[in-house]
Amino acid sequence: MRRTSWQEYQKDIADDKYYYARSCIRQNFFPGSEKAFLDIMHNDLGIDIFDDPLHTSCTGIGYHSDIVPLETIMTVVARQFSLMADAGYEHFISSCITSFGIYNEILSTWEEFPETEERTRRYLKEATGRELVKPRSIAHTSDIMFHHRHAIARKAKRQLRNAFTGEPLRVVEHIGCHYAKIFPKSGIGGSEFPYVLAGMIEAWGGEVVDYPERRHCCGFGFRNYLVQANRGYSIANSHKKLESMAPYRPDFIVANCPGCAMFLDKWQYAIAEMEGTVYGADGHGIPVLTYEEMAGLVLGYDPWELGMQMHQVDVEPLLDKMGIEYDREAKYLGKNGKYIGKPDIAAVNCEEARSIYEIKR
């Protein structure tokens, strides 16, 4: 693919000393990913990153659902920045794409309308006694991983290649809408040809799949999903993307947004149950990874340590393809070997389907 236009969209990313803001969704659905990010930064790259227990949700989901007013979210965000300054950091990094969009939107609002910043300063002071200190830089955690992709490549235990054929794995990259569609200059590669995930894939030996619906939203869209009556619209978006990417026979999908990773994964289950359609090879689904999981596999992390048992679509076919050794029996053993429960067998998974709807495969 001749994509070079991403080089026109660059931003300054700090090399070290990050203040880490977690994601509400990811902590619930991909808890291993955030831990993997911290481990990779700390242990593999020796980077100073601060995981502050005092910070809170950015309230972005509430904001996008018209529950949290703008003034409130601006004050919450101001508090996060204030905590960062207290901890002695200047570079704010966000694990969540929604939050990343929120932080950019609010910083931009303060810049465009200084009176809103003054008002937020006042509210923050009144509510918490804190002073607002704006970050020197703001980045999404996928930006940070992208920034260090060559360092990770140097420490890689394996590449994104088929261990049997040596061919690069074909990877669909999906960028969350709020990464660069709101502010194209806030993302590496802009909004049309974002390179943040593509850069990692290429640096680690994989091949990026370009397909017609590459830029299309995954369908999360907050109200598309949160309002139950709109969920058909949500799944229709994922369906459109999966139909479009399937002919390219991708080995896996990687996403940098909590909602995208979740919906592209779980809607595959719903589509398989509803229609009997699966999009991956051998009658299975297409595994959906977070970029931390992708980096973790490259660095030799154990897939269950990365939390990949939390996926709806089984990742074993991908692990086998990459030649990764893992303990099949340990999949549902949590920390300290405690059994964490096992999901029902479904059409989208590797084991024989036994859905309650008796879907034909």
Partner 1 sequence: MAKRVVIVGGGAAGMQTALELKSRGIEPIIIERDMDLGGKVRDWHKLFPSFTPASDVLQPIIDKVRSSRIRCLLGQEVKTFAEDGVILRSEEHVPADAVVIATGFSLFDAHRKQEYGYGLYHNVITSVDLERMMNNGRVMLADGTEPRRIAILHCVGSRDEKVCQKHCSKVCCITGVKQAIELKQMFPTADVFNFYMDIRMFGPGYEELYREAQQRYNIHFVRGRISEAAQTINDRIQIKAEDTLTGRPLRMSVDMLVLLVGMSANRDNEALAAASNLSLAPNGYFQTKDSFLGAVQSERPGIFYAGAATAPKSLADTLAEASMTASAVERYLRDKYNNR
Angle (CA) 284 256 328, round 5°: 40
Query: Any contact of residue 266 with partner 1 (CB under 8 A)?
Result: no
Query: Any contact of residue 232 with partner 1 (CB under 8 A)?
Result: no
Query: Any contact of residue 193 with partner 1 (CB under 8 A)?
Result: yes
Nearest to 20 by CA among 49, 45, 47: 49
Any idea of the CA torsion for 278, 228, 174, 157, to the nearest 10 degrees? -70
Query: Any contact of residue 190 with partner 1 (CB under 8 A)?
Result: yes
Query: Any contact of residue 248 with partner 1 (CB under 8 A)?
Result: yes
Beta bridge partners of 173: 254
Query: Any contact of residue 10 with partner 1 (CB under 8 A)?
Result: no
CA distances from 129 to 72, 78, 90, 110, 122 (A): 16, 12, 20, 20, 9
Closer CB to partner 1, residue 1 or residue 67?
1
**Please, what is the minimum distance in Å from the beta carbon of residue 44 to partner 1?**
34
Say which DSSP state 168 is in. Answer: B
Query: Any contact of residue 326 with partner 1 (CB under 8 A)?
Result: no
130 burial level (CB within 10 Å; 0-12, 13-18, 19+): middle
- From candidates 119, 134, 215, 231, binder to partner 1 by CB under 8 A: 215
Closer CB to partner 1, residue 2 or residue 338?
2
Q: Which stretch binds partner 1 (CB under 8 A): 12-20, 76-84, 88-96, 207-215?
A: 207-215
Query: Any contact of residue 247 with partner 1 (CB under 8 A)?
Result: yes
Query: Any contact of residue 243 with partner 1 (CB under 8 A)?
Result: no
Any idea of the CA torsion for 237, 61, 315, 202, to the nearest 10 degrees? 80
Query: Any contact of residue 207 with partner 1 (CB under 8 A)?
Result: no
Query: Any contact of residue 192 with partner 1 (CB under 8 A)?
Result: yes
231 burial level (CB within 10 Å; 0-12, 13-18, 19+): middle
**Please, what is the minimum distance in Å from the beta carbon of residue 171 to partner 1?**
16
**Please, what is the minimum distance in Å from the beta carbon of residue 316 to partner 1?**
27
354 burial level (CB within 10 Å; 0-12, 13-18, 19+): exposed
Going by DSSP bridges, is the β-strand pair 288-290/252-255 parallel, antiparallel, or unpaired?
parallel
Question: In whole angstroms, what separates CA 12 from the centre of its chain?
Answer: 21
Query: Any contact of residue 210 with partner 1 (CB under 8 A)?
Result: yes
Query: Any contact of residue 52 with partner 1 (CB under 8 A)?
Result: no
Closer CB to partner 1, residue 286 or residue 346?
286
Closer CB to partner 1, residue 250 or residue 259?
250
d(Cα 308, Cα 17) in Å, to the nearest integer? 28
List residues binding partner 1 (CB under 8 A): 1-3, 5, 190, 192-193, 210-215, 247-248
